[in-house]
Homo-oligomer: A and B are copies of this chain.
Amino acid sequence: MEFPVKQDIIQKAIDELYIKDFSKATIREVVAVAAQVEKETGLEIIHMEMGVPGLPAAEIGVQAEIKALKDGVASIYPVLDGLPELKKEASRFIKAFIDLDISSEGCIPVVGSMQSTFMSFLVAGQCEENKDTILFIDPGFPVQKQQAVVLGYKYETFDVYDYRGDKLKEKLESYLSKGNISCIIYSNPNNPAWFCLKESELKIIGELATKYDTIVIEDLAYFAMDFRKDLGIPFQAPYQVSVGKYTDNYLLLISGSKAFSYAGERIAVAAISDKLYRRNYSGLTKRYGSGTFGSVFVHRVFYGITAGAPHAAQYALAAMMKAASDGEFSFLDDVKEYGRRARKLKDIFLNHGFGIVYDNDLGEEIADGFYFTIRYPGMTGGQLMAALVPFGITAISLDTTGSNQQGLRACTSFIKDNQYQLLEERLTAFNKLYPLE
């Protein structure tokens, strides 16, 4: 195979998909163009655009789900606020790996963390009339902004790149002091940039959330996957860091998709702090007659959207969490593979003149994990994305994620063993076409 692939082949794919400006393509458009090029040329694409698990589902979960189906749960409506065993195990799992106390009542099994984000935005936006705006600490998962659009909610956003550490306080306060922020959302580890907010930063967020009475939605989609530390030993430090240590106004989104490679079954837990669960808000009382945050979340919103989470999958997640808390299932051992891949890929990119965009956590080198970010001298993110496609390399531009930096997000989940060598060869060809100074 000669690199780069002829431009007319790529242009044909772009034209056929009616993409006006490929440098601004969405994930799905990049996937579609790559698929077209793959079909046309037989080229093996190095896929780094999709953030989906590339490992088999945890067997403990699959077995528990099959057993539940054999036991007849398919006909029985799940209890709305969740299988008691899963609620109990989720509460225990949170204690074991985050060292937070959230009672089982507030641990709600939901249809993927996507649903808990949607519901959290929805309810937070109804709590108080003057608080009508979501604050995104970016970069972030683009679909969460789409959720705000679906709901017709306003949002504010800033790229945290220039506001790590103490600088975060003033920046956050500039938004919160306006009094219109219903909730703050961020992911930790960060999707797409894989930096991790530190205790000192979470403390700032938590204390300001209390001061300005806003709700923090902590998206733990990549729970405990900061592989620099061993976060996988139950009931023993170090723990996954959380804003829950610094405020009562929080809820955690714990996904089964990445940590347990259980994305297919759409199962996650929304864990609402005890105080937030029981808190009354004037807007909720006005709309629903009565109701605390937790009861509106469960009995009004969750009931009205999906009436519970799929029954059998709840048994799967309960079994996985129980085994993890019991110390019988080292769930991080499987997903550490992502970290190993990231290390190898980053080294290859770095050897070919690329840089890591989000490269440190307050001076400490960033972790190797599910995602990493790359840049190339003299190219915008959009240009770099488009320039790599002819070399059979796909990733998404950071500017689709709320980042102001020029670069790409690359995901390690689909990388196959033979592709390090391919990447090496292709980046060598890339350097010839786009020589370094």
Residues of B within 8 A of A312 (CB): 65, 264-265, 312-313
Q: A75-B55, A310-B313 are in contact. Are A305 and B115 (CB under 8 A)?
A: yes
Residues of A contacting B: mostly: helix
The interface bits of chain A over 98-132 (1 if a CB of B lies within 8 angstroms of the residue's CB, else 0) are 00000000000001101100100010000000000
Chain A residues within 8 Å of B, Cβ to Cβ: 52-53, 55-57, 61-62, 65-66, 69-70, 72-78, 111-112, 114-115, 118, 122, 143, 146-147, 149-150, 152, 257, 261-267, 287-288, 300-301, 303-313, 316
C-alpha gap A73/B313 in the complex (Å): 12
**What 10 A-B pairs come out closest when comparing CB atoms?**
A264-B311, A57-B74, A57-B75, A147-B304, A111-B306, A114-B307, A75-B261, A310-B310, A76-B264, A74-B264
> What residue in chain B is nearest A125 (Cβ atoms)?
B152
Known: A114-B304, A115-B305. 13 other contacts (CB 8 A): A53-B76, A65-B312, A66-B69, A74-B261, A75-B262, A77-B257, A111-B306, A143-B304, A143-B307, A149-B287, A150-B300, A264-B311, A265-B312
A265 touches B310 (CB 8 A): yes
A307 touches B112 (CB 8 A): yes
Residues of B within 8 A of A266 (CB): 78, 111, 306-311
Residues of B within 8 A of A114 (CB): 303-307
A304 touches B70 (CB 8 A): no
Q: A263-B77, A265-B311 are in contact. Are A115 and B300 (CB under 8 A)?
A: no
Which of A53, A72, A305 has the most CB atoms of chain B within a 10 A radius of its CB? A305
B300 touches A264 (CB 8 A): no
B65 touches A74 (CB 8 A): yes
A106 to chain B, nearest CB (A): 20
A to B CB contacts below 8 Å, 6 in the list? A73-B264, A114-B306, A115-B306, A118-B304, A143-B307, A266-B306
A111 touches B69 (CB 8 A): no
C-alpha gap A181/B56 in the complex (Å): 48
C-alpha gap A77/B304 in the complex (Å): 24
